């Protein structure tokens, strides 16, 4: 009888081991962990920090149980990458947060750092495809990465969400009396960085969703709508929320926007 029970237990352990291996395993030769499915990368905006998407990701993981926050990547002002693997062997749609120490760097430098993070994911965790979610300047950086890096030995982009991203620049001149740095120069209307972005070719097979609010005084709807001319019509979706209380920094705290993102990324 004991032998029979031991055999049953052994059989169950073997089944569990096989099931676990399907979802998460380490390659003995490369020591690289492999995750299936496209992780979703969250990119903060100008002067953003870990808190910029921190509450949204907490809601995604703990309130809605849509997946798990697998990684936080910190990029130092020198471009060094420090990664924290929070996955702990769990398998679920994985969220990755990128935090740039120099959160006032130019579009070009910031996008280069983001590309380095995504290349790290590809080389160490075999991530071949990602979704991108960016707030404010983070949405601009997501578009720039997709135009200039995706598929050139870097992970390709499946879907992209831009939240309150001023693709024609920030129209408020007083904004630049306070903010004077490389990113602020790029965020000015008709800057070289904005003009180059608008002239670049966007891939025809990436679905894009732009979300904005009438209450946003930084990324006003007129500037947000400039993205329309950059994305193939059949791949573009836009929602302008008519809410004077939904300000620029409140966009990533809105449960309404949480649900719009979820529907676009994982239900459409």
CB atoms within 10 A of CB 92: 16
Cα separation, 33 vs 25, whole angstroms: 6
CA atoms of 228 and 80, how far apart (whole Å): 35
Rg (C-alpha) for the chain, rounded Å, is 20
| Residues 134, 100: Cα–Cα separation, whole Å | 13
DSSP conformation class of 60:
I
Which residues, given as ranges, of the chain have pLDDT below 50? Answer: 1-32, 34
Closest CA to 166 of 146, 191, 148, 149: 191
- Express each pLDDT in 145-154 by its tens digit: 999 999 789 9
pLDDT at 27: 34
Query: Would you tell me the crossing angle of helices 192-199 and 137-148 to the nearest 10 degrees?
Result: 50
pLDDT in the model for residue 181 = 97
Question: Which residue bears the tokens 């070289």?
Answer: 192
CA 156/CA 131 separation, integer angstroms: 9
**DSSP assignments along 130-185, one per residue:** EEEEEETHHHHHHHHHHHHTBTTTB-EEEEEEEES--TT----TTHHHH--SHHHH
Continuous segment of H or E residues that includes residue 256: helix 255-266
**pLDDT value for 87:** 76
Strands 33-34 and 25-26: antiparallel
Which residue reads 């679920």 in tokens? 92
For 37-266, the fitting CATH number among 3.40.1190.20, 1.10.10.10, 1.10.2020.10, 3.40.50.1820 is 3.40.50.1820
- CB 162: neighbour CB atoms within 10 A? 29
Q: pLDDT of 3-46, one tens digit each?
A: 443 443 344 443 343 333 333 333 333 344 545 578 999 999 99
């Amino acid at each position: 009888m004991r032998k029979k029970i031991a055999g049953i237990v052994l059989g169950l352990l073997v089944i569990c081991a096989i099931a676990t291996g399907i979802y998460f395993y380490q390659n003995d030769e490369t020591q690289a962990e492999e995750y299936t499915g496209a992780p979703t990368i969250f990119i903060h905006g100008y002067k953003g920090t870990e808190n910029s998407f921190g509450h949204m990701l907490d809601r995604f993981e703990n309130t809605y149980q849509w997946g798990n926050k697998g990684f936080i990547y910190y990029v130092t002002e020198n471009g060094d990458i420090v990664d924290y693997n929070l996955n702990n062997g769990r398998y679920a749609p994985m969220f990755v947060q990128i935090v740039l120490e120099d959160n006032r760097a130019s579009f070009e430098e910031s996008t280069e750092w983001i590309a380095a993070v995504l290349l790290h994911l590809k080389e160490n965790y075999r991530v071949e495809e990602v979704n991108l979610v960016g707030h404010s300047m983070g949405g601009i950086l997501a578009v720039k990465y997709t135009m200039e890096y995706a598929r050139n030995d870097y992970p390709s982009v499946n879907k992209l969400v831009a939240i309150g991203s001023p693709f024609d620049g920030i129209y408020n001149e007083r904004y630049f009396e306070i903010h004077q740095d490389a990113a602020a120069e790029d965020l000015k209307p008709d800057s070289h960085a904005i003009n180059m972005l608008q002239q670049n070719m966007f891939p025809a097979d990436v679905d894009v969703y732009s979300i904005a609010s009438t209450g946003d005084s930084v990324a006003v709807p007129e500037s947000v709508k400039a993205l329309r001319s950059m994305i193939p019509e059949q791949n573009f979706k836009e929602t302008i929320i008519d809410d004077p209380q939904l300000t620029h920094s409140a966009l990533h705290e809105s449960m309404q926007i949480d649900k719009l993102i979820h529907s676009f990324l994982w239900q459409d």
